[in-house]
Structure 1
Amino acid sequence: MSILINAALLYALNAWPTWHAVPFLTPRTAEVLGLVNASLIVGLIVNVVYLAVTSPPIWALGQLVVLAVGLAAAFQIWNVFPFDFGAYSFDWALVVRILLVVGIVGSIIGLIVQFGMLIRSLAGFSRPVPRPRP
């Protein structure tokens, strides 16, 4: 399911209708699009690898890569903040900033956990990752 979602988001952002169709995104969105696309592509590739490989070290390494690229994208979005919510009466900018902080903190925690899982799996202290049911 994740593969399909990432592919659909890539298509929506870059082919149709593109990010230009979203009224609250500014032209500065182009500055974050590279890392956002990279995050989606990495997630797509890692999930395709997971379909073929159930090795715990590969699983942990894949999660580390996905989290690292996602974290870089979140920091870039924080720094550029390509949103303009001026037409809305509610303070959506604050909500987006809070969600970005939650995502960044969660990604940092996830990186720490997955690094521990990688070390643990390389030391032989983990079971194979179960294959998803079709």
Structure 2
Amino acid sequence: MRGMWDGLHAATAQMRSAADWDARLAAALTWHVLEQGGEVGAGTDTPAGVDNLPGGGLHAELAHLVNDARVTPLQALRAATGTAGRLLANGTVPWVGVLRPGAAGDALIVNGDPLQDITVTRRVRTVIHSGHVLA
């Protein structure tokens, strides 16, 4: 994995300034969409890779939403749960991102208060998956 990361990092070095610009633009657009009453869902649709693993990528996205797009931690958490579920449901009843009977909703219990520090979402204490406590 380290070799893959080093290779990717070296191959994209010349594009980093454009990627930084894209990130700043995305943050500004996110803020304006929310300011105008729109919805923003968190979650990536890119393939998993060394820099974007399921779970870890979402934690990074939450931090970017709070730190770069200036959304509140509560808005960021909603973007990754209920709002993402509603957007994916496309007008039907959401079955992901929500906790209700029949939904595929999982839950994390973390050490800390993510409303005070969004990065505590990485400090997972307990996972509840399909109604089963895993850790």
TM-score between the two structures when normalised by the length of structure 1: 0.23
* Higher share in strand: 2
- Indicate the structure whose relative CO is greater, using CA pairs within 8 Å and at least 6 residues apart: 1
Which has more helix, going by share of residues? 1
TM-score (norm 2): 0.23
**Greater Rg, structure 1 or structure 2?**
1
